[in-house]
């Protein structure tokens, strides 16, 4: 399945296999860790990676916006990967895409990578390192905050699935009692696994769609 609904902190979140979440009550599309320009950074460092990731990720955002018709898009940090020449092609691509969606309010929670780039050039409003939208507190850095349910990114959360003797590492949504993590949205981002907390709900993002898991499903 490409979509599933979870109740988090008394609110309904719709998870999508394109590694996004939609909060229908607020008409808000949430993604984390897009890392626009990462391919260009790697190529400047002499690392060979394919081109076209920016346009591919923008196309995925196009599809999500067409599907949900959100009033706002909020990125939970790391919209960009780092510094870039002013004439970098990806900057023009993102700017043109932003203009096509001028009717959607787009905000950015400050991420550790965003400090190296003026994201106002891309038409996003930077709102600091946290944004309170009760019952949620939107952040880049994960961690519990008293009185709020934290939704964050930064970790690029993943999980391991077993298929007989084979193991597959895949992105995952992870929701503990007081905080949740969104998987990284960007094509070139990696994965990080952390120990499962008691009662944590995990939804794996597989090539076939979303797969809800219990903690027992992840025992090594």
* Domains identified in the chain, total number: 1
What is the pLDDT, as a whole number, of residue 54?
Answer: 87
Element (H, E) at 148: none
Task: Please tell me the predicted confidence (pLDDT) of residue 41.
Answer: 52
Cα 163 to Cα 140: distance, rounded to the nearest angstrom: 33
Q: Which domain holds residue 208?
A: 3-218
Beta bridge partners of 151: 138, 180
Query: How confident is the model at residue 218, as a pLDDT?
Result: 42
**Predicted local distance difference test score (pLDDT) of residue 211:** 94
147-162 confidence digits (pLDDT tens): 999 999 999 999 988 8
Its pTM stands at 0.90
For the chain, residues with pLDDT lower than 50 are 42, 45, 48, 215-220
CATH number at residue 53: 3.60.21
Which H/E stretch holds residue 18?
Answer: none
The whole-angstrom separation of Cα 104 and Cα 102 is 5
The predicted structure's pLDDT at residue 49: 52
How confident is the model at residue 80, as a pLDDT? 85
pLDDT at position 164, please? 73
Distance CA 98, CA 92 (A): 10
The C-alpha atoms of residue 111 and residue 91 are separated, in whole angstroms, by: 18
């Amino acid at each position: 399945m490409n979509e599933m609904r979870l109740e988090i902190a008394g609110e309904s979140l719709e998870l999508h296999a394109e590694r996004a979440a939609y909060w229908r009550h607020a008409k808000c599309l949430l993604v984390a860790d897009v890392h626009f320009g990462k391919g260009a950074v790697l190529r400047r460092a002499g690392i060979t990676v394919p081109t076209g990731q920016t346009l591919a990720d923008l196309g995925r955002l196009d599809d999500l916006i067409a599907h949900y018709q959100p009033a706002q898009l909020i990125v939970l940090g790391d919209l960009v990967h780092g510094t870039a020449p002013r004439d970098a092609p990806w900057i023009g691509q993102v700017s043109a895409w932003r203009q096509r969606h001028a009717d959607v309010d787009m905000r950015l929670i400050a991420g550790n990578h965003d400090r190296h780039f003026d994201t106002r050039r891309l038409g996003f409003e930077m709102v600091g390192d946290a944004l309170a939208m009760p019952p949620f507190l939107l952040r880049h850095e994960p961690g519990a905050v008293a009185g709020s349910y934290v939704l964050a990114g930064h970790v690029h959360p993943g999980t391991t699935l077993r298929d007989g003797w084979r193991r597959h590492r895949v992105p995952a949504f992870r929701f503990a009692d007081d905080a949740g993590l969104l998987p990284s949205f960007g094509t070139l981002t990696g994965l990080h696994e952390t120990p499962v907390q008691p009662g944590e709900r995990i939804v794996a993002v597989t090539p076939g769609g979303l797969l809800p898991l219990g903690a027992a499903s992840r025992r090594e």
